[in-house]
A and B are shown apart, each in its own frame.
Chain A
Amino acid sequence: MTLEQITFIILALIGLTSALMLIIQKNPVYSVLLLILHFFALAGFYLLLNAQFIAVLQILVYAGAIMVLFVFVIMLLNLSNEEALKDPFNLRKIIASIFGVVLILQFGVFFFIKAKDDLNVTISPNSIEAGSIKKISEVLFSTYLIPFEVTSFILLVGIIAAIVLAKRKFE
């Protein structure tokens, strides 16, 4: 086994365990922490795939900014010890879990048998260049100029939403 394969297996185990723990965890604060751990595992995958810029963004934006917002809200609403959040075990959960497992198996069959001819590619030698900030910014500010501008509007809506829905005195 090469170092790359060992890293992949370790990261996959961390990613799967943290995702599974997240959905069975009772306390939302632990769930947030597990999600952050999951994001770190994903950042590791991005590094394996030579996508350095995205790996950094994953940690800065997702783990650093978005998840902090989650923690803030959970603390603000003081949800960790709230009675109303008890989650009883029932038939719906069993059905949903079986459905999820079937879905994973379906995807497995799909990627390994049905679509295996489409996926017979080796990692491109250009991948290091494609993941560099230089190349990404080149494409971002030429081909994807309009989508880039649109994201500013999307973030603007996020700000307005916070004002409309959560500002204390809105008259």
Chain B
Amino acid sequence: MEQQTFLNILPILIVSTTTIATIFVEAFYKRSDNLIYWLSIVSLILTLIYSILTINVQNLNFSNTLHSGGITNLFYFVLSLTSLLVIISARDYLLRAKYHHGEFYILIFSSLLGMMLMASSRDLILTFLGLELMSLSFYVLAGYNRKVLFNNEASLKYFLLGAFASGFLLYGIALIYGSAQTTNILLIVNEFNNLLLKPLFVLGLVLLLIGFSFKVASVPFHMWVPDVYEGSPTVVSALMSTAGKTAAFAALIISFYGSTTSQVNFEIVAKIISYLAIASMLIGSITAIAQTNLKRMLAYSSIAHAGYMLIGIASANKLGMSGVIFYLIVYSFMNVASFILISLMENDFEKRISLNDFIGLANTHPWYAAIMALMMFALSGLPPFGGFFGKYYVFLAAIKADLTYLAVIGVISSVISAYFYLRVVVYMYFRTNEERKDIFHTSADNFVLVLCTLFVLQLGITPNLVLDLITRFLP
């Protein structure tokens, strides 16, 4: 391996080496849990720093299968930052539940490796393998505590539906291979216009989309989302709903980048994407109203958010693609913070947090209530928080691509969703009962929450900085 190639794929090497190193530490060193915790944090920070430092060096490695630098490093940064935030606060959660083992970190790292490969891959075979690596780790993480029935059931559901969906994804890839005679994404994207004339390719693209819809948690494979988010350990749900979505959208953006709605036959695909987007937004927002369990509510809101992001893909222009990436960044911080706030109220894997647990939180824990309220405002898309600009860019892209009806339905769905987000705020601030709430906060959790809050505020105040960065690196 040449030295330059080695440097290019260093983030992936760091993460994979840590995975292996963790196994050895776990095997040969007693009381290894703390060591593994710090080892993971250090290697994630190294990945973060390195991917930012080398963001300008763009390269294709290993016969055009692996891209490095530019947008890939941006995705590396977001994915490893999300994992870092989750890992920092996960330890105390696992210690509270008395189920803290090194395997948790190994699985988080292998899923991160899979996600990074999905974001950097330029070959459908590698994308598929990255996706499977991520999913297999998530199946296990969802059932992490095997003594808890909730965890078992979540992981069985996730596994069966996930494997079913990857069957569709694989069939899509096979048909694309059959029509393009190659699996290299760059070659396929170059030939996009000619290939779209072939019905075989269009069918492949649609099947690929259906397969990805599972991973991004949108219709038609959305049934697993509420059950799995509710049943999994809360920190795992935090990672699945943010980094998992980011990686799947990264792969979608890479495969669909270079398409425009004006292309022949792409309108069929764009139409299918917009139907999926409409269905996800409406089903997500309307069903979430009926939920009293907070994790289920966030799960349905996750479906709705996947719908908003699909609008950006359907509009198939540069603003749409960069809008989706911006949205994903904001969404990661908002959702990680919300899930971690929920995890602070749980002391074991079987506790279920409902809306009633939030009554009077403003009196007992004003700071936590304030952060939760801020996250709910941001998730519902109120200005001046980051969530607003995510939606704004995506809707603007839809209007530019003559898909105004998508933007209109998006706004309607946002208005509906404001109801259940603001309901949490009402419960916290305007209802009281005497019962004293326990919040198991530690300095690690506080650090993560403050960091997320700062990022969400920052993205709301100066969204242009980040958007310009994204636009610069989109080829």
- A: residues with CB less than 8 A from B are 110, 114-115, 118-119, 142-147, 150-151, 153-154, 156-158, 160-161, 163-166, 170
Q: Which one of B89-97, B123-131, B449-457 is at the A interface?
A: B123-131
The contact of A164 among B16, B144, B199, by CB within 8 Å, is: B144
Given A142-B63, A161-B136, A164-B103, A115-B198 contact (CB < 8 Å): yes
- Taking CB atoms, residues of chain B closer than 8 Å to A144 are 65, 123, 125
A–B Cβ pairs within 8 angstroms, 10 of them: A118-B198, A143-B62, A144-B125, A147-B129, A151-B129, A154-B136, A161-B139, A164-B103, A164-B107, A165-B146
Cα distance A142–B123 in the bound complex, in angstroms: 14
Min CB distance B95 to A, Å, is: 15
Q: Is the CB of B110 within 8 A of A157?
A: yes
Min CB distance A166 to B, Å, is: 8
Q: Is the CB of B140 within 8 A of A150?
A: no
Most central of B130, B137, B200 by chain A CB within 10 Å? B200
- Taking CB atoms, residues of chain B closer than 8 Å to A154 are 129, 132-133, 136
**Taking chain B's interface residues, is the majority helix, strand, or loop, or is none over half, making it mixed?**
helix
Please give 8 more A-B residue pairs, beta carbons under 8 A apart, in addition to A142-B63, A146-B117, A164-B103. Answer: A118-B198, A150-B117, A153-B114, A157-B137, A157-B140, A161-B136, A164-B107, A164-B146
Min CB distance A64 to B, Å, is: 21
B143: interface (CB < 8 Å):
yes
B364: interface (CB < 8 Å):
no
Min CB distance A138 to B, Å, is: 12
Q: Is the CB of A157 within 8 A of B144?
A: no
Q: Is the CB of B198 within 8 A of A160?
A: no
Cα distance A107–B130 in the bound complex, in angstroms: 29
The contact of B110 among A119, A146, A153, A163, by CB within 8 Å, is: A153
- B: residues with CB less than 8 A from A are 16, 19, 62-63, 65-66, 101, 103, 106-107, 110, 113-114, 117, 123, 125-126, 129-130, 132-133, 136-137, 139-140, 143-144, 146, 155, 178-179, 198-200, 203
Min CB distance A127 to B, Å, is: 14
- Taking CB atoms, residues of chain A closer than 8 Å to B179 are 118
- Taking CB atoms, residues of chain B closer than 8 Å to A114 are 199
Q: Is the CB of B198 within 8 A of A153?
A: no
Min CB distance A120 to B, Å, is: 12
- Taking CB atoms, residues of chain B closer than 8 Å to A115 are 198-200, 203
Q: Is the CB of A110 within 8 A of B199?
A: yes
Q: Is the CB of A161 within 8 A of B140?
A: yes
- Taking CB atoms, residues of chain B closer than 8 Å to A146 are 62, 65-66, 117, 126
- Taking CB atoms, residues of chain B closer than 8 Å to A151 are 129
The contact of A158 among B117, B130, B136, by CB within 8 Å, is: B136
Cα distance A118–B178 in the bound complex, in angstroms: 9
- Taking CB atoms, residues of chain B closer than 8 Å to A142 are 63
Q: Is the CB of B62 within 8 A of A145?
A: yes
Given A154-B136, A158-B136, A143-B65 contact (CB < 8 Å): yes
Min CB distance A35 to B, Å, is: 15
Q: Is the CB of B140 within 8 A of A160?
A: yes
Cα distance A153–B132 in the bound complex, in angstroms: 10
- Taking CB atoms, residues of chain A closer than 8 Å to B117 are 146, 150
Given A118-B198, A153-B110, A154-B133, A147-B123 contact (CB < 8 Å): yes
- Taking CB atoms, residues of chain A closer than 8 Å to B140 are 157, 160-161, 164-165
- Taking CB atoms, residues of chain B closer than 8 Å to A163 are 103
Q: Is the CB of B63 within 8 A of A153?
A: no
- Taking CB atoms, residues of chain A closer than 8 Å to B114 are 153
- Taking CB atoms, residues of chain A closer than 8 Å to B63 are 142-143
Q: Is the CB of B200 within 8 A of A147?
A: no
- Taking CB atoms, residues of chain B closer than 8 Å to A160 are 103, 106-107, 110, 140
Cα distance A166–B140 in the bound complex, in angstroms: 11
Q: Is the CB of B146 within 8 A of A150?
A: no
